[in-house]
Structure 1
Amino acid sequence: MRVAVVSESFLPTISGVTTSVCKVLQELRRTGHEAMVIAPSGAPASFAGFPVHTVPALSYRQFPVGLPNPRVLRLLADFRPDVLHAASPFLLGAQGIAAARRLGVPSVAVFQTDVAGYASRNHLGQATRLAWRFVKWVHDGADLTLVPSTASMRDLRRIGVQRLDRWARGVDLDGYHPNNRRDPAVAALRRRLAPNNEVVIGYVGRIAPEKQVERLRALRGLAGISIALVGDGPSTPLVAKALAGMPVTWLGRLAGAELAAAYASFDLFVHAGTEETFGQTLQEAHAAGLPVVAPRAGGPIDLIEHGTDGFLFTPDDDRDLRRHVAVLVADSALRHRMGEAGRRAVLGRSWENVCGSLFGFYQQVIDEGLSLQAETLVPAAQRR
């Protein structure tokens, strides 16, 4: 298969979209397929042995936003892909889908970023409705849209998007593993985070408005805890102010072995944001053997079995958030049981398995396109 990937986010930007695209490209390389990438400016010239082409971009909240460019159509025409993968399509992805349709190339759009949700959170009123209309227009152009959760499926069905299917995300089951706790580097980090054997409450992700990290202030005064934050972003000053005086350690942006060590140093994982279409860091925490506390909204609903591998708290209810965290802080045996359950829950979600499903969706739209072409040719032959 020849796969053209048009991604709204790519290296060096770190995000769930970037991580997903990189894993897909690595798996395409491992399984002998061909690929190329179109991404916003600043990306490396190649990844996993595949060429990466860039287009001009604007910066928005520390993220490059790729702009439509005539080069997209030329790149796709020259590459002649069998299928186009549009990762979290917005402006650049919308152009990629339109260009693929013009070239007769089937497309798969992966819904990962709740643009309309962002508009709603910022009380943009009419802009929220316009955002949903834009989302529908983009995804109506694709032959298939893959959604990560039941909540996303419901939202897109509500606005009338028709061609939908479920595709989860993979997780690195070897990199994030409970056995990492035996590593000397983890022990050293643990001593730094919990010098008096505190219960370490961890968060990994962007420090951005939609992540609502400042809501961890609900844990103020909870005895015997230490909070570790991994990540950076535009809300750092706001979160630092909200958590001032609390036992917080800022670890900054981490990746690779350092990120795996951070997860291994936590006792439980908390995510407070209510706008996750999926929640990749929740999966990573479960893979590391941690119980997870997150809101009963969006992607976490599918990732957490309440009372078994974590807790789902009432969205926007800080008292409920605190109550569930307090239960885990007070009960080490419960943390251990829930962490084991979380690990078991993600064992079938290796990137190899998940990408195998994705490649099946690629083949599905390719086959459907060939069938449609055959149907249009038969009547023409009959007329002759």
Structure 2
Amino acid sequence: MTTTLHITLITETFPPEINGVANTLGRLFDGLRARGHQVELVRPRQGGDPLIGSDDELLLCRGWPLPGYPGLQWGQSSMHKLLRRWKRHRPDVLYIATEGPLGLSALRAARRLGISVVSGFHTNFQQYSSQYGFGLLTRLLTHYLRWFHNRSTLTLVPSASQRLELERRRFERLALLSRGVDSQLFHPAKRLKPLREQWGLAEEDIALIHVGRLAPEKNLGLLRRCFDTLRTTYPQRNMKLIVVGDGPQRPVLEKELPEAIFCGSQRGEALASYYASGDVFLFPSLTETFGNVVLEALAAGLGVVAYDQAAAAQHIRHGYNGVLAMPGDEEAFCDAARWLLDERETLRCVRLNARQHASRQGWAAIIEQFEGQLRGACVGEQVVPNAPTLP
């Protein structure tokens, strides 16, 4: 009989918050519990949480507002609280998903108690820093992230391209843990004719859709250039740009793209219908560690246009189930979208192949792999060699 584990997950974001990291962690949390493990969650208190939150499965900590992320909290250091809790109920292994003060205090408490730590590299904060006016801090932040992850037993990364980038930056003990998709939720059958009519589109018209957080690091200025290019190339075709999501850049984008339809954040069945009611998915981001929305768009049977990195590089075969451009080449990105729309049969075949590929990318195998990686950390080396001094 397989031994169950006591696993503690530390994160700044978790469902019902809407972002790729929260979605992934919710899936991993539920999947491990379904496999019989005791899973404890440590996170900052969010709006609507009780003032006191502590039981065997949940520990709420104090937090500060996270700049640029309304509604999210940056967890405060809670080392003494964690030490007291883990001395009473010692976890077998920690999974630290975020590297802020809360994650750092968890790392230090675990090392003091000799508890194995697996960390996850979920967000390119060192790339985000330049987008938010902190470019001078990029090197320091990279140094800190390397210091942090090199003190864990294992660091999990979501894509092969991310692993190569971190190896180049001298991160150690990296392993791949990809992402899955719920291909029953995200399905072409969720296409809604009334929704397309609301957008002013008939069945033969084209809905160019983007789903994601509307923020500077997402390279969303390319949406306008690509949309303008396609309308100039195909003036006879009725097409609309549909933007699903919210974030600090929304007011700017609404001014720059007055013709676009902004739908705000969506989730669950509503989000699935928005995807399926589109035709082409435009994803210009250059800062993703993975990009769950790429898999969701493929599962919904959309023709995906993306840069050749992260999830797109892993799951798209150029010209077969989507189209790719070299990272940063905006002209190539627009050309790829143009090729996809050049022949109706081309787009039809690409969309069929996209759905077929994504339908094989479920979460069950990902969660089983994650469980194995956590078990491996438990029986591996308990004390990681000293890393460089904390900056």
Q: Residue by residue, what CA displacement relative to the aligned partner does 1:168-206 show, whole Å, maximum 9, x if unpaired?
A: 01111111112223xxxx221121124344200111110
Normalised by the length of structure 1, the TM-score is 0.88
Aligned match of 1:228: 242
Structure 2 counterpart of 1:87, from 92, 97, 113: 97
Higher relative contact order at CA 8 Å, sep ≥6: structure 1 or structure 2? Answer: 2
- Alpha-carbon spacing, 1:212–1:163, altered in 2? closer, same or farther (3 Å): same
Counterpart Cα distance in 2 of 1:155 and 1:231: 28
What displacement does 1:72 show?
3.0
Counterpart Cα distance in 2 of 1:78 and 1:235: 45
Counterpart Cα distance in 2 of 1:137 and 1:33: 30
Q: Does 1:24 pair with 2:28? A: yes
Q: Does 1:157 pair with 2:167? A: yes
SS in 1 for 2:380: helix
SS in 2 for 1:85: strand
Q: Does 1:241 pair with 2:255? A: yes
Q: Which runs of 5+ in 2 are unaligned?
A: 384-391
Counterpart Cα distance in 1 of 2:223 and 2:371: 39
- Of residues 288-297 and 319-328 in structure 1, the stretch that sits farther from structure 2 once superposed is 319-328
Aligned match of 2:77: 68
Aligned match of 1:380: none
- The question of whether the paired residues in 2 share the 8 Å contact of 1:90 and 1:138 is answered with no
Counterpart Cα distance in 2 of 1:76 and 1:203: 43
Normalised by the length of structure 2, the TM-score is 0.87
Aligned match of 2:195: 189
Aligned match of 1:133: 143
SS in 2 for 1:10: coil
- The question of whether the paired residues in 2 share the 8 Å contact of 1:112 and 1:148 is answered with yes
Counterpart Cα distance in 2 of 1:66 and 1:117: 21
Which amino acid is 2:87 matched to? A
Q: Does 1:105 pair with 2:111? A: no
What displacement does 1:299 show?
4.0
- The question of whether the paired residues in 2 share the 8 Å contact of 1:214 and 1:238 is answered with no
SS in 2 for 1:60: coil
What displacement does 1:267 show?
0.5
Aligned match of 1:279: 291
Which amino acid is 2:104 matched to? A
**What is the percentage of aligned positions where both structures have the same residue?**
30
- Alpha-carbon spacing, 1:16–1:77, altered in 2? closer, same or farther (3 Å): farther
Counterpart Cα distance in 2 of 1:144 and 1:316: 31
- CA RMSD, aligned part only? 2.3
Aligned match of 2:323: 311
Counterpart Cα distance in 1 of 2:221 and 2:85: 43
- Alpha-carbon spacing, 1:157–1:318, altered in 2? closer, same or farther (3 Å): closer
- The question of whether the paired residues in 2 share the 8 Å contact of 1:139 and 1:161 is answered with yes
- Of residues 3-12 and 168-177 in structure 1, the stretch that sits farther from structure 2 once superposed is 3-12
- The question of whether the paired residues in 2 share the 8 Å contact of 1:276 and 1:300 is answered with no
Aligned match of 2:177: 167
- Of residues 15-24 and 85-94 in structure 1, the stretch that sits farther from structure 2 once superposed is 85-94
How many pairs are equivalent? Answer: 365
Which amino acid is 2:221 matched to? E
Structure 2 counterpart of 1:289, from 288, 301, 308: 301
- The question of whether the paired residues in 2 share the 8 Å contact of 1:283 and 1:346 is answered with yes
Q: Does 1:250 pair with 2:246? A: no
Q: Does 1:176 pair with 2:186? A: yes
- Of residues 119-128 and 58-67 in structure 1, the stretch that sits farther from structure 2 once superposed is 119-128
Question: Which one has the bigger helix percentage?
Answer: 1
What displacement does 1:116 show?
1.0
Counterpart Cα distance in 2 of 1:304 and 1:120: 29
Q: Residue by residue, what CA displacement relative to the aligned partner does 1:41-69 show, whole Å, maximum 9, x if unpaired?
A: 2175689x942423322331123211212
Aligned match of 1:9: 13
Structure 2 counterpart of 1:337, from 342, 346, 349: 349
Which amino acid is 1:266 matched to? G
SS in 2 for 1:238: helix
Q: Residue by residue, what CA displacement relative to the aligned partner does 1:136-193 show, whole Å, maximum 9, x if unpaired?
A: 0110111000111122112211222211110101111111112223xxxx22112112
- Alpha-carbon spacing, 1:94–1:348, altered in 2? closer, same or farther (3 Å): farther
Counterpart Cα distance in 2 of 1:351 and 1:8: 22
Counterpart Cα distance in 1 of 2:304 and 2:22: 23
What displacement does 1:320 show?
2.3
Q: Which runs of 5+ in 1 are unaligned?
A: 373-384
